[in-house]
Amino acid sequence: MPAKSVTIIGGGIGGFAAALALRQRGCDVRVLEQAEAISEVGAGLQISPNGLRVLEALGVGEALRAGACRGTAVSLRDHRAGREVLRLDLNRLPEGQSYHFVHRADLIALLSQAAREAGVQVRLLQKVAAVRPGAPVRIEMANGDSCSADLVIGADGLHSVVRSALNGVVAPFFTGQVAWRAVVPNLCGHPPEARVHMGPGRHVVSYPLRGGEKVNLVAVEERRQWTEEGWSQHDDAANLRTAFAGFGGDVAKLLAAVERPGLWGLFRHPVARHWHGQGVAILGDAAHPTLPFMAQGANMALEDAWALAACLTSGTDMDAALSRYQDLRRERCVKIVEAANGNAWKYHLSNPLVRGVAHMGIGMLGRLAPAKMLGQFDWIYGYDVTKAV
């Protein structure tokens, strides 16, 4: 095994999944997380069959299923009265595949608990300022302290300092879209399906969480005005309601219950060119931040975590293991990120005539060839990273 002791920067989904996978393979692992607690942050996430396979292999699939809602369909709807335009029946997924909606905090809680129980050390309030690849790798903390490690994994998300150490600073560009997110009580008996409510220049995605008690809302609007990228900005709920005033049916009811929505600017980042350096690797959003339109951010992070742990523990040469990891992952992640980029405009047709025709077209396709509509996601959902290494 090329690395017996591993330091992971970032206690998010990818960080804890990698920690658990490496610990289960006999490594000593510590996680450095900047937050003061692993607490209730974020909103809903979608776990598709490819991500679930990793959770199953890590031994937490059962716990995930217990706390999540199993999705039965994806329903595309017109924004005014909520008329359904297209329905993808998730019960038609191939045998053994299922799709789940989960609160990000619940997924982190179950991964971090399993990691701790397996013997991973978790250190909170540890903000890393910079990483210098080498043998050993030098880690500089924001408080001025420093330490070293044989292998450092950057699972430090969107604004990764480890990605910058390997790739320099690459400026992302604003897509001209912002997204509000909120979790509200399930006031409309929202069934266990993801609903995409499509309007001109904007759409709302809703799905239930926590046994159907809550509903997760993500509302995307096209606009010129730039908004910061990140998970900690909030907005006045009145702005959200004004932007989506033309939406009827259940959406209006759910939006009325929003109190303090998160707001983030949607930016496009290139997938990192270099995923590893001497004694250093990156995974998840640190390597490939994505727009949310394929709901694959968490699933790709889970796949990366498994692949990296498997590569690192299946040979003796660290450089070879890290480059095998990049070879295995980069192309797939580029393809998924590009698919998410390409989806951005699809829900937002502004011209009512074009929108009507497009909706009719996809509705017909959905009725005539339902298996084909769902089959277009086979390359994502059917992939099993646990068998790929």
Q: Active-site residue numbers?
A: 207
- Select from 2, 3, 11, 54 the one that contacts ligand FAD (CB under 6 A): 11
Tell me the CA distances in angstroms from 378 to 48, 65, 71, 86, 239, one per residue in order. Answer: 11, 21, 17, 18, 38
Looking at residues 336 to 375 of the shown chain, list those that interact with ligand FAD (rule: CB under 6 A).
Answer: none
Looking at residues 228 to 257 of the shown chain, list those that interact with ligand FAD (rule: CB under 6 A).
Answer: 231
In the bound state with ligand FAD, the residue whose beta carbon lies nearer, of 127 and 132, is 127
Q: If DSSP codes are grouped into helix, strand and coil, which group holds residue 252? A: helix
In the bound state with ligand FAD, the residue whose beta carbon lies nearer, of 85 and 344, is 344
Residue with tokens 């049916």: 249
In the bound state with ligand FAD, the residue whose beta carbon lies nearer, of 289 and 366, is 289
Determine if 18 is a binding residue for ligand FAD (CB under 6 A).
no
- Select from 6, 8, 13, 88 the one that contacts ligand FAD (CB under 6 A): 13
Listed ranges 196-204, 266-274, 293-301, 350-358: which one lies at the site for ligand FAD (CB under 6 A): 293-301
Q: Which residues contact 337 (CB under 8 A, 6 or more apart)?
A: 271, 288, 290, 291
Looking at residues 138 to 197 of the shown chain, list those that interact with ligand FAD (rule: CB under 6 A).
Answer: 155-157, 161, 181
Determine if 31 is a binding residue for ligand FAD (CB under 6 A).
no
| Site size with ligand FAD, rule: CB under 6 A | 32
For residue 219, the one-letter residue type is: A
- Select from 261, 265, 297, 366 the one that contacts ligand FAD (CB under 6 A): 297
**Residue 189 DSSP one-character state:** -
Minimum gap (Å) between residue 369 Cβ and ligand FAD: 30
Listed ranges 87-95, 124-132, 313-321, 344-352: which one lies at the site for ligand FAD (CB under 6 A): 124-132
In the bound state with ligand FAD, the residue whose beta carbon lies nearer, of 135 and 142, is 142
- Select from 41, 63, 340, 362 the one that contacts ligand FAD (CB under 6 A): 41
Residue 373, phi then psi, degrees to nearest 5: -60, -45
Residue 300, phi then psi, degrees to nearest 5: -65, -40
Query: How far apart, in Å, do the first and last CA atoms of the chain sit?
Result: 15
- Select from 22, 32, 115, 280 the one that contacts ligand FAD (CB under 6 A): 32
In the bound state with ligand FAD, the residue whose beta carbon lies nearer, of 47 and 88, is 47
Q: Report d(CA 76, CA 85) in Å as an integer.
A: 5
Helix axes 13-24, 297-312, angle to 10 degrees: 30
- Select from 58, 64, 301, 385 the one that contacts ligand FAD (CB under 6 A): 301
Instruction: Report CA 311 to chain centroid distance, whole Å.
Output: 22
- Select from 3, 6, 8, 9 the one that contacts ligand FAD (CB under 6 A): 9
In the bound state with ligand FAD, the residue whose beta carbon lies nearer, of 295 and 374, is 295
Q: Report d(CA 385, CA 80) in Å as an integer.
A: 41
Helix axes 297-312, 49-57, angle to 10 degrees: 40
Q: Report d(CA 180, CA 186) in Å as an integer.
A: 18
In the bound state with ligand FAD, the residue whose beta carbon lies nearer, of 2 and 42, is 42
Q: Report d(CA 229, CA 293) in Å as an integer.
A: 16
Determine if 45 is a binding residue for ligand FAD (CB under 6 A).
yes
Residue closest to ligand FAD (Cβ): 12
Closest CA to 141 of 50, 32, 67: 32
User: Buried b / exposed e across 358-376, counting CB within 10 Å, b at 16+?
Assistant: ebeeebeebeeeeeebbee
Looking at residues 65 to 94 of the shown chain, list those that interact with ligand FAD (rule: CB under 6 A).
Answer: none
Determine if 2 is a binding residue for ligand FAD (CB under 6 A).
no
Tokens of 209: 């969480």
Residue 139 near residue 149, CB atoms below 8 Å: yes
Length of the chain: 389
Determine if 10 is a binding residue for ligand FAD (CB under 6 A).
yes
Q: Report d(CA 385, CA 29) in Å as an integer.
A: 22
In the bound state with ligand FAD, the residue whose beta carbon lies nearer, of 235 and 285, is 285
- Select from 20, 33, 74, 261 the one that contacts ligand FAD (CB under 6 A): 33
Which residues bind to ligand FAD, rule: CB under 6 A?
9-15, 32-35, 41-43, 45, 104, 126-128, 155-157, 161, 181, 231, 284-286, 292, 297-298, 301
